[in-house]
Amino acid sequence: MKKYQYVTIPLALHGVVCKTDGSVIDVNIGDDPGDPVVGISDLLIHLSADQLQKTAAKVIGGEKLDVTVGSIPLEGEEKDAVKANIAKLLNEKYGIGEEDLLSAEIEVVPAGPARDYGLDRSMVAGYGHDDRVCAYTSLMAILDAEPGEYTYCCILVDKEEIGSVGATGAASAFFENTVAELLYLTGDKEYISLRRAMENSRMLSSDVSAGFDPLFPEVNDPKNAAYLNNGIVFNKYTGARGKSGSNDANPEYVAWVRGAMDNAGIYFQTAELGKVDQGGGGTIAYILGNMNMNVIDAGVAVLNMHAPMEIVAKADVYEAYLAYKAFLKA
Judged by the rule CB under 5 A, the positions of this chain that interact with Zn ion are 130
Compare residues 96 and 170 and give the one whose CB is closer to Zn ion. Answer: 170
Compare residues 100 and 130 and give the one whose CB is closer to Zn ion. Answer: 130
Question: What is the smallest separation between the CB atom of 256 and Zn ion, expressed in angstroms?
Answer: 27
Check residue 163 and give left, alpha or beta (phi > 0: left; psi -120 to 50: alpha).
Answer: left
Amino acid at site 96: I
Contact 294, 248 (CB under 8 A): no
The count of other CB atoms within 10 Å of the CB of residue 275 is 14
Compare residues 130 and 319 and give the one whose CB is closer to Zn ion. Answer: 130
Residue closest to Zn ion (Cβ) = 130
Helices (H), 156-313: 174-185, 191-199, 251-263, 285-289
Question: What is the smallest separation between the CB atom of 220 and Zn ion, expressed in angstroms?
Answer: 17
What is the enclosing helix (H) or strand (E) of 313? strand 310-313
Question: What is the smallest separation between the CB atom of 127 and Zn ion, expressed in angstroms?
Answer: 12
Amino acid at site 253: Y
Question: What is the smallest separation between the CB atom of 160 and Zn ion, expressed in angstroms?
Answer: 7
Compare residues 130 and 316 and give the one whose CB is closer to Zn ion. Answer: 130
Question: What is the smallest separation between the CB atom of 305 and Zn ion, expressed in angstroms?
Answer: 6
The count of other CB atoms within 10 Å of the CB of residue 110 is 20
Contact 328, 145 (CB under 8 A): yes
Compare residues 179 and 204 and give the one whose CB is closer to Zn ion. Answer: 204
Provide the Cα torsion 239, 244, 245, 250; round to 10°: 80
Compare residues 238 and 294 and give the one whose CB is closer to Zn ion. Answer: 238
Residue 291 per-residue DSSP state: T
Question: What is the smallest separation between the CB atom of 314 and Zn ion, expressed in angstroms?
Answer: 21
Q: What is the 3-state secondary structure (H, E, C) of 59-76?
A: CCCHHHCCCECCCCCCCC
Contact 73, 101 (CB under 8 A): no
Residue 146 per-residue DSSP state: P
Compare residues 164 and 269 and give the one whose CB is closer to Zn ion. Answer: 164
Question: What is the smallest separation between the CB atom of 281 and Zn ion, expressed in angstroms?
Answer: 7
